[in-house]
């Protein structure tokens, strides 16, 4: 009771996030003039923040925004993910799809996931190559994201987590390289960038020494955070899912023509 509340506790209380400590904090506030005063000062500052007028856009901004946006809308329709997946190389499908699927299927097998047989996958690839590719890439991003989440949140005392992820990381490296090659052909800088960063991290996990220490894991976690890998991966995976959904809803409008080269 005599222990004054910390500033952090007052902030959490202001936001109603003291959770289990709420009763203790409020009880203390009732009996401590000093903390009550600190609370009031905090509330006054927050009230000041709330009373501030937002910064307004320059006069005529709405017209400037449109003038800037309109050409980008046209460019946007011809670029980004649609370009990535509509690029003629993707229409080749057979070879690349088989490679992606090989890595995809290998990953599935080693990860103990659902059983997918290569012959069936090949049949699917010959029927709807782009969609199968989208699904395979989407799955690759999801599985990579899942592994990074596990690593990022792993207890640093449990360095053996690296050893447990090596086989999975190896499979993901293989799939990553195939997709990276195709992304390079399509020239999608955003995808290339994230895939290259992912490969470095995946290789680090795949090649981790048998006696990896908690420092190794901490370094890896720092890199995942520093390079915003999870966030960037989520953005790309999310765009993928949206694109796939839109394409499914709109029917298969992907070009069927075979590449000329």
Partner 1 sequence: MDERDPSVVAKARSGDRDAFRALVEMHSRYIYSLAHRMTGNAQDAEDVVQEAWLKAHKQLSRFEARADFRTWMHRITVNCSIDMIRARRHREDAHDPSDLEQGPLSERGAEAQPTPERVAASVQISDRVNDALGLLTALERAAFTLRHVEGMSIEEVGAKLGMKTSATKHSIFRAVKKMRAALEPFAQS
Q: Which spans of this chain sit near partner 1 (rule: CB under 8 A)?
A: 7-8, 11-12, 15, 17, 41-42, 44-49, 51-59, 61-63, 65-66, 68-70, 72-73, 76, 153, 226, 228, 230-231, 234-235, 242, 245-246, 249-250
We find the least distance from the C-beta atom of residue 61 to partner 1, in angstroms, to be 6
We find the least distance from the C-beta atom of residue 251 to partner 1, in angstroms, to be 13
Residue with Cβ nearer partner 1 (7 or 196)? 7
We find the least distance from the C-beta atom of residue 134 to partner 1, in angstroms, to be 16
Residue with Cβ nearer partner 1 (82 or 177)? 82
Query: End-to-end distance of the chain based on CA atoms, in angstroms?
Result: 79
Residue with Cβ nearer partner 1 (29 or 152)? 152
We find the least distance from the C-beta atom of residue 113 to partner 1, in angstroms, to be 25
Contact present, 255 and 213 (Cβ < 8 Å) = no
Residue with Cβ nearer partner 1 (12 or 203)? 12
3-state secondary structure the chain: CCCCCCHHHHHHHHCCCCHHHHHHHHHHHHHCHHHHHHHHHHHHHHHHHHHCCCCCCCCCHHHHHHHHHHHHHHHHHCCHHHHHHHCHHHHHCHHHHHHHHHHHHHHHHHHCCCCCCHHHHHHHHHHCHHHHHHHHHHHHHHHHHHHHHHHHCCCCCCCHHHHHHHHHHHHHHHHHHHHHHHHHHHCCHHHHHHHHHHHHHHHHHHCCCCCCCHHHHHHHHHHHHHCCHHHHHHHHHHHHHHHHHHHHHHCCCCCCCCCCC
We find the least distance from the C-beta atom of residue 67 to partner 1, in angstroms, to be 10
What does the block give as tokens for 59? Answer: 């006069």
Residue with Cβ nearer partner 1 (177 or 239)? 239
We find the least distance from the C-beta atom of residue 147 to partner 1, in angstroms, to be 16
Residue with Cβ nearer partner 1 (64 or 127)? 64
What is the spatial distance between Cα 3 and Cα 12, in angstroms, rounded to a whole number?
17
Residue with Cβ nearer partner 1 (77 or 167)? 77
We find the least distance from the C-beta atom of residue 31 to partner 1, in angstroms, to be 23
């Amino acid at each position: 009771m005599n222990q004054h509340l910390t500033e952090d506790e007052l902030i959490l209380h202001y936001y109603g996030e003291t959770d289990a400590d709420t009763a203790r904090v409020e009880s203390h506030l009732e009996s401590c003039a000093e903390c009550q005063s600190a609370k009031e000062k905090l509330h006054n500052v927050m009230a000041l923040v709330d009373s501030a007028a937002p910064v307004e856009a320059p006069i005529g901004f709405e017209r400037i925004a449109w003038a800037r946006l309109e050409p980008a809308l046209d460019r946007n329709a011809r670029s980004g993910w649609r370009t990535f997946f509509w690029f003629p190389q993707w229409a080749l499908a057979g070879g690349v799809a088989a490679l992606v699927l090989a890595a995809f299927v290998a990953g599935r097998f080693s990860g103990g996931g659902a059983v997918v047989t290569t012959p069936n996958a090949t049949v699917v690839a010959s029927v709807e190559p782009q969609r199968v590719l989208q699904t395979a890439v989407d799955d690759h991003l999801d599985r990579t994201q899942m592994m990074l989440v596990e690593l990022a949140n792993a207890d640093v005392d449990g360095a053996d987590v690296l050893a447990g992820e090596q086989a999975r990381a190896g499979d993901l490296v293989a799939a990553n390289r195939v997709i990276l090659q195709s992304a390079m052909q399509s020239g999608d800088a955003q995808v290339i960038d994230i895939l290259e960063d992912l490969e470095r991290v995946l290789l680090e996990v795949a090649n981790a020494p048998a006696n990896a220490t908690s420092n190794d894991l901490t370094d890896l976690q720092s890199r995942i955070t520093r390079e915003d890998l999870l966030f960037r991966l989520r953005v790309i995976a999310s765009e993928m899912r949206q694109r796939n959904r839109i394409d499914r809803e709109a029917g298969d409008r992907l070009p069927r023509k075979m590449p000329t080269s």
